[in-house]
A and B are shown apart, each in its own frame.
Chain A
Amino acid sequence: MDISLQQVEYRYQVNSPFEHLALEDVSIDIPSGTYLAIIGHTGSGKSTILQHLNAILKPTKGKVIIGDQEVTNAKKQKNLKSIRKKVGIVFQFPEHQLFEETVEKDICFGPMNFGVSESEAKRRAREAILQVGLSEEILAKSPFDLSGGQMRRVAIAGVLAMEPDVIVLDEPTAGLDPRGRKEIMDMFYRLHKDRNLSTILVTHSMEDAALYADQIVVMHQGKVFKKGSPREIFQSPVGLMELGLDVPEVVRFQNKLEDTFHVKFSKTCVTLEELTEEIHRLFKKVGELT
């Protein structure tokens, strides 16, 4: 399902003393099957964009096209439910939203709310729990007896069980240890491929953006600062750093090397392996290595 934001503006609390322009002239195309990362400073508008992706917020100007539906300020919207069925959002700390007696009931809640039968919801719960790397036995347990990492996975399973076409992730690994972080990110990547999803990742982690995304949008003060592939985005790291954003460690390290050695490598490396190759080549040139 294609999503497109066209000249979107969003103001919070219009006509009040607290009126605040959060998004200005934001245009982003997210063709079906894209893995898009949205990065930016705290307060840059990332979370406001996220809430437009399933019509929690409606733009104060411009339009958001989600599949065959158009969301604008003017229209009285019917059928927002069908949008929300197709676009699943995994909010920050999704485990805070667990509430049911058992894991199974919790996962079934979403699909049944959208009219799925109980038996079908249960089938989906079993499938989803395996997809997030937990075993079926956990379905009978109370979500509150689980560890933090397990609770997060259960909450994610709840979103998967709605079988969305688009999955939106808001800092999905916050608070997890490095292993947990990698497992969750790899899992989303696998789902992205296997289910042919569109994935939209809102993150502070430049490492994750570089590693998983096809496209990156950099937000700054409510506007799109830059769009492109990871390599395009990190080609000129200085601009990003001036915005107070980090660049991936590999990119930063390459920059330091290039400055010290007064050379320019053939490309912007986004993985450790690529950079090792470049350094290897550099040493080969002076005859140190063969």
Chain B
Amino acid sequence: MTDAVVRIENVSFKYDGQSDFALNNVSLHINDGEWLAIVGHNGSGKSTMAKLLNGLQTPSEGSIQICGIELTEETVWDTRKQIGMVFQNPDNQFVGSTVQDDVAFGLENNGVPREEMVQRVKTSLEKVKMDKFLDQEPHHLSGGQKQRVAIAGVLALRPKIILLDEATSMLDPRGREEVLQTIRELKESNQMTVVSITHDLEEAAKADRIIVMNKGQLYREGTPEEIFQMDEELVELGLDIPFPVKMSKLLKSKGIPINKHYLTEEELVAQLWTSHSNK
């Protein structure tokens, strides 16, 4: 277990004035270089987990280690360098008066030399395809564009871990795919670890591992294959079933020969083709 970049041990957390635990005795290791998707209904504790990982809130009980550093009030600034967060609403994380200033903000704060800074701002914005907007003011951008700039701001800091808190939920399909593709490439080339809190099950299906949260507890953990076998149980948890699985089920119930529930459309098409041409 030496290559866990994040270790969450028996963490519980309660918001002021609330009687229920937002997180209840959660233990979780996040492995170096993995893409971990965290899914769960609204209020299941996903976002609380994100806040704890970034030191915006402190656990009531238990401990969190990030890249070997115990997360405390003293170390929070060091751990934040390791974990870059992108939130759902980009308006809440804009500080610069232009797109490039905004991306440069974090770099300035970290004392990156100017020449390198200019370079990193440029590359990050290219990666999110916003390099044509360098001098635009953020409030002239649409929601999706703003979010891409926010992601560039994080990319520029080259953290070890990138934490997406429903960061693509406001983007249109192409924007979403571009961003996820960017993060995928970044994960490969920089050996980054990706933690994605999401409602998008198609996205989760492509993760290495999925955690299902329910009522503040870690409900289930497994590969996408394992998790989507939960089937109707997911619906009861307020979640959904990916389209290819739904389609597989429905076809099967009509007597069309399908031997399992497929996670991708390609596999399902291939299966249908095989059973069709075997006739």
Show the binding face of A for B, using Cβ within 8 Å. 18, 40-43, 47, 92-93, 147-149, 171, 174-181, 204, 206, 244-246, 249-250, 252-253, 256-257, 260-261, 272-273, 275-276, 279-280, 282-283, 286-289
Identify which of B42, B89, B255 contacts A148 (C-beta below 8 A).
B42
Do A42 and B247 touch (CB < 8 A)? no
A246-B173, A272-B246, A288-B276 as given contacts; A42 in contact with B143, CB under 8 Å:
yes
Q: Could you say which residues of chain B place their CB within 8 Å of the CB of A206?
A: 173
Do B172 and A280 touch (CB < 8 A)? no
Beyond A177-B40, A273-B250, 20 additional pairs, beta carbon < 8 A: A42-B143, A42-B171, A92-B143, A149-B43, A175-B88, A175-B169, A177-B199, A177-B238, A177-B239, A178-B239, A179-B235, A180-B42, A244-B172, A245-B172, A246-B174, A253-B243, A256-B269, A272-B247, A279-B254, A288-B275
Can you give 7 contacting A-B residue pairs, CB < 8 Å? A149-B42, A177-B41, A179-B238, A180-B42, A253-B268, A283-B256, A287-B279
Q: Could you say which residues of chain B place their CB within 8 Å of the CB of A181?
A: 199
Show the binding face of B for A, using Cβ within 8 Å. 40-43, 88-89, 140, 142-145, 166, 169-175, 199, 201, 235, 238-240, 243-244, 246-247, 250-251, 254-257, 265-266, 268-270, 272-273, 275-276, 279
Closest to A47 in B: B142
Identify which of B41, B142, B251 contacts A279 (C-beta below 8 A).
B251
Chain A proximity of B181: nearest CB distance (Å) = 13
Q: Could you say which residues of chain B place their CB within 8 Å of the CB of A43?
A: 142, 144-145
Which of A42, A256, A275 is most buried by chain B, counting CB atoms within 10 A of its CB? A42
Do B199 and A176 touch (CB < 8 A)? yes
Closest to A182 in B: B240
Chain B proximity of A209: nearest CB distance (Å) = 12
Do B265 and A256 touch (CB < 8 A)? yes
Which of A171, A177, A276 is most buried by chain B, counting CB atoms within 10 A of its CB? A177
A43-B145, A286-B276, A287-B279 as given contacts; A272 in contact with B250, CB under 8 Å:
yes
Per the bound structure, the CA–CA distance linking A283 and B255 in Å amounts to 10
Per the bound structure, the CA–CA distance linking A282 and B275 in Å amounts to 12
Per the bound structure, the CA–CA distance linking A142 and B124 in Å amounts to 42
Per the bound structure, the CA–CA distance linking A282 and B273 in Å amounts to 11
Per the bound structure, the CA–CA distance linking A180 and B235 in Å amounts to 11
Per the bound structure, the CA–CA distance linking A213 and B272 in Å amounts to 31
Q: Could you say which residues of chain B place their CB within 8 Å of the CB of A257?
A: 269, 272
A178-B238, A178-B239 as given contacts; A42 in contact with B172, CB under 8 Å:
yes
Do A253 and B247 touch (CB < 8 A)? yes
A42-B145, A272-B247, A288-B276 as given contacts; A18 in contact with B238, CB under 8 Å:
no
Identify which of B169, B239, B247 contacts A275 (C-beta below 8 A).
B247
Q: Could you say which residues of chain A place their CB within 8 Å of the CB of B88?
A: 175
Per the bound structure, the CA–CA distance linking A72 and B255 in Å amounts to 59
Identify which of B169, B269, B279 contacts A174 (C-beta below 8 A).
B169
Per the bound structure, the CA–CA distance linking A288 and B273 in Å amounts to 13
Per the bound structure, the CA–CA distance linking A149 and B41 in Å amounts to 10
Per the bound structure, the CA–CA distance linking A282 and B269 in Å amounts to 13
Closest to A20 in B: B140
Q: Could you say which residues of chain A place their CB within 8 Å of the CB of B269?
A: 253, 256-257, 260
Per the bound structure, the CA–CA distance linking A93 and B273 in Å amounts to 44
Q: Could you say which residues of chain B place their CB within 8 Å of the CB of A280?
A: 254, 256
Do A41 and B174 touch (CB < 8 A)? yes
Closest to A290 in B: B255
Closest to A178 in B: B240
Do A279 and B256 touch (CB < 8 A)? yes
Per the bound structure, the CA–CA distance linking A170 and B89 in Å amounts to 15
Identify which of B89, B254, B276, B279 contacts A93 (C-beta below 8 A).
B89
Do A288 and B257 touch (CB < 8 A)? yes
Q: Could you say which residues of chain B place their CB within 8 Å of the CB of A42?
A: 142-145, 171-172, 175
Chain A proximity of B129: nearest CB distance (Å) = 11
Q: Could you say which residues of chain B place their CB within 8 Å of the CB of A147?
A: 42-43
Chain B proximity of A289: nearest CB distance (Å) = 6
Per the bound structure, the CA–CA distance linking A104 and B266 in Å amounts to 51
Q: Could you say which residues of chain B place their CB within 8 Å of the CB of A149?
A: 42-43
Which of A250, A273, A276, A282 is most buried by chain B, counting CB atoms within 10 A of its CB? A276
Identify which of B173, B243, B244, B276 contacts A283 (C-beta below 8 A).
B276
Do A260 and B143 touch (CB < 8 A)? no
Per the bound structure, the CA–CA distance linking A253 and B265 in Å amounts to 7
Chain A proximity of B180: nearest CB distance (Å) = 14
Per the bound structure, the CA–CA distance linking A180 and B237 in Å amounts to 11
Q: Could you say which residues of chain B place their CB within 8 Å of the CB of A148?
A: 42-43
Closest to B46 in A: A177
Q: Could you say which residues of chain A place their CB within 8 Å of the CB of B174?
A: 41, 244-246
Q: Could you say which residues of chain B place their CB within 8 Å of the CB of A249?
A: 243, 265
Closest to A288 in B: B279
Do A279 and B272 touch (CB < 8 A)? yes
